[in-house]
Structure 1
Amino acid sequence: MKGPNYKIVSIYSFFPFQENLIFDLKNKLLKIENENDLSGLLIFASEGINGTICADKNVIDNVINLLSKYTDNRNLNMKVNFSKEKVFKKLKIKIKKEIVTMGVPEINPSQDNGIYIDSAEWNKLIKNQNTIVIDTRNHYEVSVGTFQNSINPNTRNFSEFPNWVDDHLETHIENKESTNIAMFCTGGIRCEKATSLLKKKGYKNIYHLQGGILQYLDDVPKEKNLFEGECYVFDKRVALDQELEKGSYSICHACGMPVSIQDQERKEYRKGIQCHFCIDQFSDDDRKRFEERQKQIDKLKVENHKIYKD
């Protein structure tokens, strides 16, 4: 039986990235895309690199070697997975002010952040009664799966996290000197930046899960696993299960929210048109447009299936 065809690598690194090198790397990657089946989403900024790429193993290895040269061989914080299908349509490269948007320019994660905790030590830390555990992801990601007894800031995006810290964090901390603050996210980038923010605000005993949920699921046996549910990912797979295989969630193409199998059985759900999250968000004209789009998608799938069979 033929194995997976595509290698998927999530990657991030905080380092000073000069503008001329950013554009030079972008052009080289687009050239690779034109010559190979490379897809994904990469974000470049003066603070580093963040993103996910998908391609044949040899292509991915060449891209990683190229990225390593531009980061002066710094740690690229990589998570590797495989898929039988492409998880992105094409390669998108975005140049932004931040590789993950928090909106606090005075922090510098490449110089000051919390203590890395690997998967082997994570369970011990979060079981400690003097530890609070914070999920730094967005609310819809948390709804798909999270660690036991973790705090959900209920943010819509990461740029809301600093306000949550200012307004709510102290209510969860009994003793600022002795309380451990353990944070996590999908692959490690958001919780790393969050630790830099908390250190800037004077908090102590700050930890973050190295490699994020994805690395934890890869490292920790199921019988010792404290993560509950599935892990949301920003690609066609939507969510990964405990074995890092495509999970049970799909996306509502009207509002972009993840919907479970149970959500799809609700009376509000109409594939490609609406779900219970967005039933009051769109007009009848919007829904007619969504319905027509879904018909075109379904028609294309049938045509592609016929071509494949022939």
Structure 2
Amino acid sequence: MANFLIAALYKFVHLPDFESLQAPLLERCAANGVKGTLLLAEEGINGTIAGPSEGIAAILGHLRGDPRLAALVHKESWSEKMPFYRMKVKLKREIVTMGVPNVHAATMAGTYVKPGEWNRLIDDPEVVVVDVRNDYEVSIGSFNRAVNPCTTSFTEFPQWVREQSAEGGLLHGKPRVAMFCTGGIRCEKSTAYMRTQGFDDVYHLEGGILKYLETVPPEESRWSGECFVFDERVSVVHGLEPGHYEFCRACRLPLSAEDRASAHFVEGVSCPHCHDQHTPEQKQRYAERQKQVELARQRAERHIGVRVELKKAAKENP
């Protein structure tokens, strides 16, 4: 039985006093058994939290009690296990980091396209469909016809746009562009950036891939593969059911069954993506950590995340 409600949320809105929101929000989450990560910045709020349904309702009610966040929209899914190990409320310069000044997603974002209308848009051969997620996310699933910018960070996206806007590039001549991402937040900022570069016909999937997978029937879907998510579920499929990927505990990249069958895969230590990127000393530490995980598993205890919670408790009770 799924016992933990997961809520993914974001909103671009002017929050000049965002720093003062941190402590009350963290306190309210702790009181309601809610864990995850929330980012606060002058441009808004972003994050994913999980907990008992009444706890999530309490946090959403707390947020929407601020008139500026009254219209906050969230997406829900369920998990049998708590997908997070602690609660973090971080103060940031941006709630999704692009590194380009004066890109105001709250007022400059492109045209929203609802999931039920998305297929018709991306089926148009005159529309350039762009996946604005990072390369490792795209690698496990994307929409048919979608272009992969092959970025390792969202900060690389503006450079890709500049390169593809040159003669011979995919964006030369400023065609109609449809963009999508996991939950919609990167799309709002990317379409706002595109508009600063003179693109008038830019669209983005409202609610992101998650809302599409939640609402569009599989038989009508243009989606192939699975959708990476930033918690212990690793990936989800249609209906937001858990997917088939696992994390590499050394590099945090998603691993398929084929990856785990590789000679380079050593649970908790290395995988085909990172086997040659860590020193022998690092691998030894990872192996010791994995040993402790396995011992905890044999005792039916949780290991990952416990160390962080013990350190926190030590600080609070010196």
Query: Are the counterparts in 2 of residues 25 and 70 from structure 1 also a CA contact under 8 Å?
Result: no
Superimposed CA distance per residue, residues 226-284 of structure 1 (whole angstroms, 9 cap, x where no aligned partner): 11100000011111122311111111111111111111001111111111111111111
Aligned-pair identity (%): 39
**Could you tell me which residue of structure 1 aligns to residue 113 of structure 2?**
117
How many pairs align? 300
Contact 1:195 1:206 in 2 (8 A): yes
Q: Which moved more, 1:81-90 or 1:95-104?
A: 81-90
Letter in 2 for 1:262: E
1:31 equivalent in structure 2: 27
- Distance in 2 separating the partners of 1:196 and 1:228: 27
Shift of 1:305: 5.8
Kindly state the Cα deviation for residue 168 of structure 1 after the two structures are TM-superposed.
2.0
Name the counterpart of 2:16: 18
4+ runs of 1 displaced by more than 3 Å? none
| 8 Å CA contact retained: 1:114, 1:206 | yes
Tell me if the contact between 1:15 and 1:71 (Cα under 8 Å) persists in the aligned partners. no
* Counterpart position of 2:280: 284
Deviation of the 1:169 alpha carbon: 4.2
Cα shift at 1:30: 2.0
- TM-superposed deviation, 1:296: 0.5
2:192 corresponding residue in structure 1: 196
- Asked if the contact 1:120/1:220 (under 8 Å) is kept, the reply is yes
Calculate the aligned-residue CA RMSD, in Å: 1.5
Name whichever of 239-248 and 146-155 sits farther off: 239-248
What's the CA shift string for 1:120-158, capped at 9, x where partnerless?
110000000110100000000000110011000111111
Alignment of 1:1-310 (within 5 A): 3-19=1-17, 22-170=18-166, 171-173=169-171, 175-176=173-174, 179-304=175-300
- The answer to whether the 8 A contact 1:145-1:227 is kept is yes
Higher deviation after alignment, 263-272 or 162-171: 162-171
Q: State how far apart, in whole Å, the 1-side matches of 2:179 and 2:50 are.
A: 27
Kept in 2, the 8 Å contact 1:87–1:235? The answer is: yes
Contact 2:63 2:70 in 1 (8 A): no
> Within 2, Cα distance between the matches of 1:305 and 1:43?
30
- Alpha-carbon shift at residue 35 of structure 1 (Å): 2.2
Structure 2: 5+ residue runs without aligned partners? Answer: 303-318
Distance in structure 2 (CA, Å) of the matches to 1:305 and 1:53: 23
CA distance in 2, matches of 1:163, 1:74: 35
Q: Could you tell me how far apart the structure 1 residues matched to 2:89 and 2:32 are? A: 16
Letter in 1 for 2:269: I
Q: Structure 1 residues 100 and 120, CA, compared in 2 at 3 Å: closer, same or farther?
A: same
**Distance in 2 between the 1:186 and 1:252 partners?**
20
> What letter matches 1:17 in structure 2?
L
Describe the superposition over 1:88-137 as per-residue Cα deviations: whole angstroms up to 9, x where unpaired.
Answer: 01111110000000001111111111000000110000000110100000
Partner of 1:72: helix, strand, or coil? helix
Equivalent residue letter for 1:193: K
Q: For 2:205 and 2:30, locate their aligned partners in 1 and report how far apart those are by CA, in whole Å.
A: 36
